[in-house]
Structure 1
């Protein structure tokens, strides 16, 4: 309700505001204050940019352009010219008689060429027969010495009496170097019988033996030979 201004005697009287107007003014101020307060406390959200949507439409493949029809007119076929066939008149042909050729008096007679004399080639030199390769004749295998020939009369080793009483027996192998003369040059003990007395008895006997010397062809040579000596109580 608007305020009323009372004028008395040409001068304005005291300014009066009605309570209703005052309440409305106060309410308006309070509302403005609340709006300012809320606007300060609430965050200001910036406006979002508008979403752009682009619709891509697939283009349909353009069909190939149809070929233009061939409108070239066909070439006219050449018209065969009618040729007039004229038959030759049958003219009788007289057969001509062959004329005999007269022999030419001055015709040169061709004679065959005379044969050339044969070319004599010198005989090839006789090749010398290849010399036969000399085959080396292998040397004759030497024959080993012999000690068991009957005519040698080599005595048997003496069996030691003590060895008999002790029941000692065994086999002795001796290596003998036989000279070209047939004598025992060197006697060595190859394999022992296990008893010294038997070994010594064998060495003493064989060192006095005679041998048939080894031979290479017709020549006597020195060589080694193994002589076994057996001591047995059954003998």
Structure 2
């Protein structure tokens, strides 16, 4: 009996210890992502270290993409990697592509869309795409603007920065027009329905007018004899 109890306890420990380790790697609910110059590591950083030996065939592992508006009005996309990467830039009027040769990706979640159409940036949206053994940051443009691509090191990782000059890129807000009595209304186009003509007041008979002056109800029909 004791032997069975010890065996059951050992099996329980084998299940609990890995679960606790995974919980420590899992980012908290308030995880705000990586910011260049900050102290926040990429998600599941412990798992990244363990997988490093198995991914030595890759020049680098891409750990986080992000977007920032700068204080001077410029906009910046950045990509965090585990090692320095010599990128290639391909530009067309519709797209800008930053190629990271022989680079893997740490988490599939990092390939989600970066939706930036409501910011003052020439990029509508961007995402990471797999191209064979390469990863590519694809930016879909709404204005033909050439980026400035630089690199840097910080927090134990390497960064590729893609900067765009300030400008008025976001779509204008819907026009507002004043409405009667001091309100506001959104102009949506189209003609307003015609206003119905006002009706003339009904005409009163002389008897009804005299009754109104004497403040008594009018008598309809023949006047009774006194």
Which band: TM-score by shorter chain?
A: under 0.3
Q: What is the TM-score of this pair, normalised by structure 2?
A: 0.22
More strand per residue: 2
Name which one, 1 or 2, has greater alpha-carbon Rg. 1
Q: What is the TM-score of this pair, normalised by structure 1?
A: 0.21
